[in-house]
Structure 1
Amino acid sequence: MSETDRTLIDTTRAHRERMLGALAHGPQATRRTVNTNVGRLLGSVILGAVICCACLGTSFVVNLLEDRKQQEAISAFQAAAAANPVQPGGTVVKDEATGFLLDQATGQYTDPRTGFVVDPATGYATDPAGKLIDTRIGWYIDPATGYYTNPTSGITVDPQTLTVVE
């Protein structure tokens, strides 16, 4: 086959592809008004912005819920610290020096809110699980750190700074 024949066949093939494209997709001027890569770039930028907004919104909501949980724990701590103890009765009298109930028959001090026996030297009671409880507020206390833990939610609070400890 000669070189001119090969050129004619390639030209005819290219012409047929163009005609088929024009028939299927319309004229060349309406098919490619803007480079397709620009559209892809804009689509990628918009998709990235939507993903960033979703991450930012999720982070904001999670942080808001965590702050609310910590504020509720601090409020519960303050409310428990300000709660009035149960009044004494019968043979049990309130010891004014410690604030505990003193059983005059046995000589034991008792926490008026929980009923646990209290060590008068430290003011802490021990629950049946062996954890120390600050009898004034009913929260668990870690004697090594001085941090208080809410027995219902498990959130730990530093009483000096009133912040939640992780």
Structure 2
Amino acid sequence: MLIAFNKPMNVLSQFTDEGRWPGLKHHIDMPGVYAAGRLDRDSEGLLLLTDDGKLQARIASPKAKMPKTYLAQVEGTPTAEALDALRRGVTLKDGPTRPARVEEVPAPAWLWPRDPPVRVRKTVPDAWLKLTITEGRNRQLRRMTAHVGLPTLRLIRVAIGPWSLNGLAPGEWREVSPAG
């Protein structure tokens, strides 16, 4: 079994609550499934859950290099140099990243409001980037965009390999084919 879940902001990628942050149990009442990978508390979007250990490893293992696609609202105006640096890979404190696919895109028309809303500053422009990476270090995309001078304001994972959010509202889930 494989479940696609649209993880809301400020929900943990685990079933147990931790402090003031709620876990997945508030959204998914399905015993025996576990997250295949994780999504930071302050990130939103696609989280896959499964009861199949081999499938979980295939999705989450860094060796599998499963592509993960995100929409990132960033502070600032992306330059050709900043985007090229992300495409080549940047060197973070924990070493060089693999190259990312990246393009500037318009703000998604289908996007749900965030709670709390992103702080908007009238004097500082923002932009949206679509990024695909094949690794998943801790807070990697946030660190990559900050490294090139574009701090991330909002991060939404829209796809993992062949699976996508595909119209799921925050907090909603559906069963999907393990084959993608």
Task: Kindly name which structure, 1 or 2, has the bigger radius of gyration based on alpha carbons.
Answer: 1
If each structure's strand is expressed as a fraction of its own residues, which one has the higher value?
A: 2
Structure with more of its chain in helix, by fraction? 1
Give the structure, 1 or 2, with the largest relative contact order (CA under 8 Å, sep 6 or more): 2
TM-score bracket, shorter-length normalisation: under 0.3
- Length-normalised TM-score, structure 2: 0.23
